[in-house]
Amino acid sequence: MQTRYDLAVIGSGGAAFAAAIRATGLGKSVVMIERGTFGGTCVNTGCVPSKALIAAAEARHVAADASARFPGIATTADPVDMPALVVGKQDLVEALRGEKYIDVADAYGWQVRRGDAAFAGTSDAPVLEVTAPDGTVETIEAAHYLVATGARAWAPPIDGLEDTGYLTSTTAMELTEVPESLLVLGGGYVALEQAQLFARLGSKVTLLVRSRLASKEEPEVSQTLQEVFAEEGIRVVRRAVVSTITRDAATGQVVATADVSGGEQEFRAHQVLVALGRRPVTDGLNLDVVEVKTGESGEIVVTDQLQSSNPRIWAAGDVTGHPEFVYVAAYHGTLVAENAFTDVDRSVDYARLPRVTFTGPAIGSVGMTEAQVLEAGIRCDCRVLPLHYVARALVNRDTRGFIKMVLNADTGEILGLTALAKDAGELAAAGVHVLGKTVTEVADAWAPYLTMAEGIRIVAKAFSTDISKLSCCA
């Protein structure tokens, strides 16, 4: 059986849905092929379940910590009923999968095929062969194809790791017991979120980090977050390169041997979670048959317009190796549909891309870091505002963190904003609209009192004012 469409989409996550929605809106026929669980990473194994568990862990942490923060408040935190917590998380996942994916596809009316897709034909005349679960094969021909197959957790070739039964960010969220102790390998956003999540649920956590925490962000983030983790009982071991991992038959514990600053050390825990990055999912697609180039990690190499080396085949989302955020994937999907079926010729631009890590306090940033400004040859000026100058943090009784603003010293233009704060994600979102403005414009702008966003105005004023001598709202 062979059928023809305007757009054939491989995958069913954020990028796939955004492309299908936009293409359908342009009057194009669409077919979506999915071999696994409908909805992609974000709703099934990524953003939604992880943030649901992070919110639950934060609630327990607040209960345990409230007595120390707020005079007159007495609270306790009982041990976690992990099976109930996981069931609640899964109920939310299934509800959102139905509401935001399955129901949406039905509402728009595009075709859905369940099965494995692989390219066939030639580079000039590509087709997809879709093998259904019952073994039947359908050949699909389309004017344009979109590969939106995402990425999966990756583990490096550490001696003994494969035999250890290690956890990933996906399998860790299915645990029915809180590990008594946990080793986390990595220092990126997934490692940070998962380490604090399990520590707040009651696990004794050790982080083994090759360089520093959140190494792509400002160094103040790493320093302050390490202090926060220490307060919460999370051990951070920097400059640690793991060489072997085994399972002790007598105790059942994981034993990791690592080079730490030139010396060998041994670490033990009941479980080990590998959070050292993700790799694009392109295996089995037969991309070479249709002359689609891939990079060293398997990512599909694309132009700024997200077109692959085959002009009829596009890629979007994590499979491109671009920033791994679901809102990037959704932006990609819409852009592909418009570039394929209209004359807009749009390019991807990450200059104002906000980034958020959902630790407590959270990391939020947008634009350039101080190091990036200097590397670009721009004369830099910056200020770091401790949160004890922000009234919202004072009334929250939590002044851990800061807001940092980076300027072009010659023009006063704001080039970057980074925050470590309870509402850092909202600060990063506000920062999208602050970038490109002058520091004077932001310092003189309206800012509601007793919001964390007021801190953006205060840090802007810090370039010209001694903020220790300001009254409220001045």
Q: What would the pLDDT profile of 342-374 be if each residue is shown by its tens digit? A: 999 999 999 999 999 999 999 999 999 999 999
CB 324 within 8 A of CB 335: no
Phi, psi for 373 (deg, rounded to 5): -65, -45
Pick from 95, 139, 97, 103: which is nearest to 121 by CA?
A: 139
SS (H, E, C) 247-267: ECCCCCCEEEEEEECCEEEEE
CATH class of the domain whose range is 161-276: alpha beta
Predicted local confidence at residue 273, as pLDDT: 98
Mean pLDDT to the nearest integer, 132-161? 96
Q: Is the pLDDT of residue 1 over 80?
A: no
- Reported residue count of the chain is 474
Percent of the chain with pLDDT over 70: 100
Q: Binning pLDDT at 50, 70 and 90, where does residue 473 land?
A: confident
Q: Binning pLDDT at 50, 70 and 90, where does residue 2 land?
A: low
Mean pLDDT to the nearest integer, 421-443? 97
Tokens 């990791």: give the residue: 256
* The architecture CATH gives domain 2-45+85-152+279-341: 3-Layer(bba) Sandwich (3.50)
- Close Cβ partners of 249 (under 8 Å, ≥ 6 residues apart): none
pLDDT, greater one: 67 or 121: 121
H-type alpha helices, 250-396: 326-341, 370-375, 391-395
Mean pLDDT score of the chain: 96
Q: Binning pLDDT at 50, 70 and 90, where does residue 276 land?
A: very high
DSSP string covering 130-185:
EE-TTS-EEEEEEEEEEE---EEE-----BTGGGTT-B-HHHHTT-SS--SEEEEE
Predicted local confidence at residue 295, as pLDDT: 97
Range(s) for CATH 3.30.390.30 in the chain? 354-469
Encoded amino acid at 234, one letter: I
Count, in order, helices (H) and strands (E) of the chain. Answer: 14, 21
Mean pLDDT to the nearest integer, 294-320? 97
- Close Cβ partners of 347 (under 8 Å, ≥ 6 residues apart): 304, 305
Angle at which helices 326-341 and 14-25 cross, to 10°? 30
Cross-strand bridge partners of residue 205:
182
Range(s) for CATH 3.50.50.60 in the chain? 2-45+85-152+279-341, 161-276
CA angle 430-447-473, nearest 5°? 140
Mean pLDDT to the nearest integer, 202-223? 97
Q: Is the pLDDT of residue 29 over 80?
A: yes
Predicted local confidence at residue 76, as pLDDT: 86
CA angle 392-398-399, nearest 5°? 80
CB 225 within 8 A of CB 421: no
Pick from 360, 374, 330: which is nearest to 22 by CA?
A: 330
Give pLDDT tens digits for 225-259. 999 999 999 999 999 999 999 999 999 999 999 99
Tokens 């670490």: give the residue: 267
Handedness of CA 275, 154, 80, 423 (dihedral sign): positive
Distance between CA atoms of residues 281 and 190, nearest Å: 18
Global pTM value: 0.95
Q: Is the pLDDT of residue 329 over 90?
A: yes
Pick from 424, 454, 403: which is nearest to 361 by CA?
A: 424
- Give SS3 for 12: coil
CATH code, residues 354-469: 3.30.390.30
Residue 298: which region, alpha, beta or left (left: phi > 0; alpha: psi -120 to 50)? Answer: left
Predicted local confidence at residue 474, as pLDDT: 78
Distance between CA atoms of residues 150 and 333, nearest Å: 12
Pick from 395, 325, 389, 397: which is nearest to 357 by CA?
A: 325
Give pLDDT tens digits for 46-94. 999 999 999 999 999 999 888 888 889 888 889 999 999 999 999 999 9
Pick from 359, 321, 180: which is nearest to 252 by CA?
A: 180
- Close Cβ partners of 157 (under 8 Å, ≥ 6 residues apart): none
